[in-house]
Structure 1
Amino acid sequence: MADGQAIRGSKVGSGPAGEAERGESAPRRVVSYWCANGHESTPAFATDADAPREWECQRCGVPAGRDRDNPPEARRTEPYKSHFAYVQERRSEEEGQAILAEALERIQERRGR
């Protein structure tokens, strides 16, 4: 750059590398998790931390557990519902018509009709 604003002598990823500059890593342990599709995930945890009972599979996203022969079942996800769909679950068609008639009546009263 002509105006002298460029950072010279550095590149992406340059800087101190290795444990000597960053400090010592905490001791870790690797825990294996298996999903219903047979995938194995092996996250590392600090030795003094409690590993969770379930972990999300890194390949397919379903829950994975520590027992290889008995993995947790995939959770059933409900499709997106609109506000109107939830209202329809709570109200019958007749109730909806009655509420609509009351609202229209109130509007007409306010308008002086």
Structure 2
Amino acid sequence: MAGSNVIRGSRVGAGPMGEAERGDAAPRLTVSYWCARGHETAPSFAIEEGATVPEQWDCPRCGLPAGRDQQNPPEPLRNEPYKTHLAYVKERRTDADGQNLLDEALSALRTRRGRG
């Protein structure tokens, strides 16, 4: 059968005729945001009762926070390095506290094993 990839029942220009079939588009508000690197982002928001436009928006190009004031964009977020469990423990306890806990744990272990 020739032409097996033809879409049956369609013709060039077929499809919705636009606004008349889909209804009117909701009124929109375009707001510009700028990040610390100078990128501009302009998302559109629906204008309706109770809808709020956010003060900050994530820049789609670099991921930094973007604000509505071009002269004073928000500061980039400080990226904290990954901390291990030991790093968090060392924040809460001094080396002397750690040594005391280790000594207690070792003495309890030796007592249980009978090497007291």
TM-score, length basis structure 1: 0.75
1:53 corresponds to which residue? 55
1:75 corresponds to which residue? 77
**Any unmatched runs of 5+ in structure 2?**
1-6, 9-14
How many Å separate the matches in 2 of 1:82 and 1:51?
A: 39
State yes or no: 1:63 paired with 2:61: no
Rg larger in structure: 2
How many Å separate the matches in 2 of 1:41 and 1:63?
A: 11
SS at match of 1:101: helix
- Residues paired across the two proteins, number: 100
The alignment yields a C-alpha RMSD, in angstroms, of 2.2
2:26 corresponds to which residue? 26
How many Å separate the matches in 2 of 1:25 and 1:81?
A: 49
**Any unmatched runs of 5+ in structure 1?**
1-8, 11-15
How many Å separate the matches in 1 of 2:41 and 2:67?
A: 9
Percent identity between the two aligned chains = 57
